[in-house]
A = this chain, B = another copy of it.
Amino acid sequence: MIKNTTIDKQLGHKTIRAFKEKVLTKEQINTLVEVAQHTSSSMFMQQFSIIHITDAEKKDKIRAISGQKYVGANGDLFIFVVDLHRNQRIRQQLGKDDGRLHQTDIFLQGVEDTVLAVQNTVNAAESMGLGAVILGSINDNPGELLKVLELPTMTYPILGIQIGIADQTPQLKPRLPLDVVFFENDYHEISLVDLKDYDEIVQTYYDLRNSNRRIDSFTNQVGSKKLGTKETHRNELLDVLHSQGLCLK
C-alpha cells in the first residue's frame, strides 16, 4: 500500500458525530469553500452552491427534519445545493430557452458536481485535523427542507456536512471485501456465502451513535428496514424534484 499524509487520512477516515463546542475560524471556512470550488465540474457548468447555516432557527428546523441531534449543533453546518437555477437564470438573461436543464441527464451532472465537491471538502477538513459527518438525513423530508432553506426552483439541497473539532474517537468501520466491489472487465454476482466472513467482522464494530452497541451484520442490515418498504417523506423525493422542475424527462 502506498502511504502519504493524504492517503493516511483517507484510509483512516471515520465519520465524526460529536464535536467540541467551538465554531470554525473564518480562515478554515474560506479554505474549505475554496477547495470545494476547485473540484472538477461537468462541462465546466459549476452547478452547485453552498449555504453556511448560522441562523439558530434554521439550524433547529434542519435538525428536526434530520432527526439527528448533532445536525446544526456544535461545529458548523454547510448545505450543498445542486444548483441549476443559476445557469437557468443566466440563459434567461441571455434570451435563451431552458434547453436541456429539465432533463434527468443535466440534473445528474449537477448532482455529480455537488457530491464531488462534498467529498473534496471533507478531505480538506480532515487534512486540517477536523472531523466531519456527511448528512443525508437532511432529506428525511425533502419538501420541508426546501421551505426551510427558501430555495428557488431548479435547486435541490442534496447533502449537508457538519464539520468541527472531534469530540469522540470512533473505530474504523470495516468495509466490504475488495473482491466483492472491485472487478476487472466483468461484473461478478455475489452470494450470501461470499459475505459470511465480512458479516462476522462487521459484528465486532461498536457504533458510538447507539450507546456503544455492536452493530448487526452487513447482510442483516441490507435485509432490514433500512431498505425495506416504509412510510417516509423520503418517498416523496421524485415528486419534490418534479415540482422543482428537475428530472422532468
Contact A237 B104 (CB under 8 A): yes
Contact with B along A155-182 (1 / 0, CB 8 A): 1001100000000000001011010111
Known: A43-B221, A119-B120. 17 other contacts (CB 8 A): A2-B27, A6-B127, A12-B38, A34-B178, A37-B175, A43-B136, A45-B222, A50-B181, A54-B184, A87-B227, A90-B195, A100-B234, A104-B238, A112-B115, A115-B116, A118-B119, A238-B249
Chain A interface size, as a band, is 35 or more
Contacts of A117 in B (CB 8 A): 119
* CB-CB contacts below 8 Å: A37-57 with B: 37-40, 42-46, 48-55
- Assembly CA distance A149 to B109 (angstroms): 21
7 nearest A-B pairs in the assembled complex, by CB-CB distance: A6-B127, A119-B119, A115-B115, A99-B228, A94-B223, A104-B238, A2-B31
Given contacts A11-B34, A91-B222, A219-B90, contact A150 B44 (CB under 8 A): no
Number of copies: 2
